[in-house]
Amino acid sequence: MNNTTETPVTVIGLGRMGQALASTFLKAGHPTTVWNRTASKADQLVAEGALLAPTVSDALKSGSLTIVCVTDYQAMHRLLGADDIELDGMTLVNLTSGDSAQAREAAQWAEQRGARYLDGAIMAIPPAIGTAEATILHSGPQADFEAHKATLDALGTVTYLGADHGLASLYDVAGLAMMWSVLNAWLQGTALLRTAGVDAVTYAPFAQQIAAGVAEWLPRHAEQVDSSSFPAEVASLETHVRSMAHLIEESEAVGVNTELPKLIKAMADRAIAAGHGGEQYSVLIEEFSQPRND
């Protein structure tokens, strides 16, 4: 594969994200063919130099690499599953958001039609595309990723996770879980401090410092998770739970929401009831690793 900026690229789906992707390829110098159900969304891209294909089939024929970015996998299957669509010999990079099962199923579906398939997940907003802040995750056959990495690099910080097509989706949601956990913890603390007249901006640098400090613990906790051995090197789960009770009491006393602290404590209480009170916090992986739907 010729990995210069002359490599032709096709982008199918020109919503907010697809337009950013196509525009970035154009700016990087790639001949870029585009297609969208609502053709008018290609107007600006055509003005920037994109070629608007009249049909999906024509769009696919224009480039050896096709990026698909539509609302969901159903839309992707509807578009590319039509009888007249020839996928044999194509490389598809599907940057549509979905879950890991959809990604694996789509990979099988595409490969049965003779296409090479990489699944991807975009961890960025459209304006960040083309900058280092845009993390774009890929999974699928490594050789296919390597063949197109130089082209995909135009989009941001492009990462390869492994051969299992489901990995990009799984990392995507794992990252979201991290993001919401940090934000929710910060909001809980902010709500508490505002009752004492401390505004969010004043508290934020302290919260940032705590979040960064806790992030430093992850590699050691991860070793414990991988070895299923949780000696309380720093603090036992019982010690944590006493502090959780304090957080709930303080939240109740000042009249802020207690749902999140209670949820956290309920999980830790169950682990203690199962005999893990003397172990390190990471023993909670056992709670997180089993379904619980109530």
Ligand X SMILES: NC(=O)c1ccc[n+]([C@@H]2O[C@H](COP(=O)([O-])OP(=O)(O)OC[C@H]3O[C@@H](n4cnc5c(N)ncnc54)[C@H](OP(=O)(O)O)[C@@H]3O)[C@@H](O)[C@H]2O)c1
The binding site for ligand X (CB under 6 A) comprises 13-18, 36-38, 41, 69-71, 75, 78-79, 96-97, 122, 125-126
- Closer residue to ligand X (CB): 39 or 200: 39
| Residues paired with 68 in a beta bridge | 12, 94
Pick between residue 21 and residue 115 the one whose CB is nearest to ligand X.
21
Task: Give the C-alpha separation, 63 to 76, whole Å.
Answer: 18
Q: Which is nearer to ligand X, 173 or 235 (CB)?
A: 173
In DSSP terms, which residues pair with 122 in a beta bridge? Answer: 136
Residue closest to 32 by CA, chosen among 46, 43, 16, 44: 46
Q: Is 82 helix (H, G, I), strand (E, B) or coil?
A: coil
The residue of the chain with the least Cβ separation from ligand X equals 15
DSSP state of 228: T
- Least distance from C-beta 14 to ligand X, angstroms? 5
Q: Which is nearer to ligand X, 82 or 214 (CB)?
A: 82
- What is the number of H-type helices and E-type strands within the chain? 11, 8
Q: Residue 75 or 232: which CB sits closer to ligand X?
A: 75
| CB 42 to ligand X: min, Å | 10
Contact 14, 34 (CB under 8 A): yes
CA distance 145 to 162: 10
Nearest distance from residue 66's CB to ligand X, in Å? 14
Between residues 125 and 210, which has the closer beta carbon with respect to ligand X?
125
Torsion-angle region of 248 (φ positive above 0: left; ψ -120 to 50: alpha; else: beta): alpha
Backbone angles phi, psi at 275, to 5 degrees: 95, 15
Where is 144: in which H helix or E strand?
helix 142-152
Least distance CB 229 / ligand X (angstroms)? 38
Q: State the nearest-atom distance from the C-beta of 278 to ligand X, in Å.
A: 43
Give the nearer residue to ligand X in terms of CB position, either 126 or 278: 126
What is the closest distance, in whole angstroms, from the C-beta atom of residue 61 to ligand X in the complex?
18
State both tokens at 97.
């958001």
Question: How many other C-beta atoms can be found within 10 angstroms of the C-beta atom of residue 166?
Answer: 21
Ordered DSSP codes for 24-74: HHHHTT--EEEE-SSGGGGHHHHHHTPEEPSSHHHHHHH-SEEEE--SSHH
| Cβ at position 96, least distance to ligand X in Å | 4
Name the token pair of 291.
């379904």
At closest approach, how far in Å is the CB of 164 from ligand X? 20
Residue with smaller CB distance to ligand X, 78 or 220: 78
